[in-house]
Amino acid sequence: GEDVEQSLFLSVREGDSSVINCTYTDSSSTYLYWYKQEPGAGLQLLTYIFSNMDMKQDQRLTVLLNKKDKHLSLRIADTQTGDSAIYFCADRIKAAGNKLTFGGGTRVLVKP
Amino acid sequence: EPEVTQTPSHQVTQMGQEVILRCVPISNHLYFYWYRQILGQKVEFLVSFYNNEISEKSEIFDDQFSVERPDGSNFTLKIRSTKLEDSAMYFCASGEETQYFGPGTRLLVL
């Protein structure tokens, strides 16, 4: 079945850019998502991209999709301490229904 | 802004007991889901529900599990006879192209 992988941890200085990476295995992934989870909270949808796009920008967030390498990244510009959280990527294969397959999450720690 | 809500936030139960986890999806959404996250593991899909029936389920979603939409607003997950390995955070979600998640119910089976 589909597998989505992420690195476990990222440490970044406040004000710098963060880049969180994700790889997936099924080339028919149709939608790819980024969710944020703060301590004790649920999964907050940050942004998503369709597979027919290479890039999507939304304020401080930039999503890059490399379909050839099956690689997705999330760049957070001007990272703030409030960005400290776990970030999950997930994909959806439309032909396989609506279920999301999640990566294991990347814990981002923003240092002042 | 509309959001998915879940109750209770925490539930402790004895092995073999039945539990019902409750969710109120976003009101104009037609698709509903349950996912779970065992501590230290990935978020896993359990089941999706559309038009008053299960549209998709994973192999985790065996006969111990059932879902129901008992009225126009609630969506429930029932675990008939809980096992230790059912201890997890259970997330409800709603939406189609984009799925919005609730805050989760942390279930602990003793």
Distance CA B14, CA B48 (A): 27
B35 vs A contacts (CB less than 8 Å): 100, 102
Per-residue pLDDT of chain B in tens (110 residues, 90 and over written 9) = 789 999 999 999 999 999 999 999 999 899 999 999 999 899 999 999 998 899 999 999 999 999 999 887 899 999 999 999 999 999 999 998 899 999 999 999 99
Distance CA A11, CA A89 (A): 18
Asked if residues B91 and B102 have their Cβ atoms less than 8 Å apart, the reply is yes
| Structure token pair of residue A112 | 């002042």
Question: Would you give the end-to-end CA distance of chain A in angstroms?
Answer: 41
| Per-residue pLDDT at A22 | 96
| Structure token pair of residue A38 | 């703060």
Q: Average model confidence (pLDDT) for chain A? A: 94
A50-83: per-residue pLDDT in tens? 999 999 999 999 999 999 999 999 999 999 999 9
Asked if residues B36 and A102 have their Cβ atoms less than 8 Å apart, the reply is no
* pLDDT of A40 over the 90 cut: no
**Using omega within 30 degrees of 0 as the cis cutoff, is the peptide bond preceding B8 cis?**
yes
Chain A residues with CB under 8 Å of a chain B CB are 31, 33, 35, 41-45, 48, 88, 90, 97-105
Residue contact B98–A42, C-beta within 8 A: no
DSSP result, chain B:
----EEE-SEEEE-TT--EEEEEE--TT--EEEEEEE-TTS-EEEEEEEETTEEEEE-TT--TTEEEE--SSS-EEEEESS--GGG-EEEEEEE-SSS-EE---EEEEE-
Asked if residues A91 and A24 have their Cβ atoms less than 8 Å apart, the reply is yes
B25–chain A Cβ distance below 8 A for any pair? no
Residue contact B44–A102, C-beta within 8 A: yes
Q: Mutation test of the interface with chain A: which of B6, B21, B101, B105, choosing the one with the most A Cβ atoms within 10 A?
A: B101
Of the partner residues B33, B98, B102, the one whose CB lies closest to the CB of residue A42: B102
| Structure token pair of residue B67 | 């879902």
Distance CA A21, CA A6 (A): 6
Please state the length of chain B.
Answer: 110
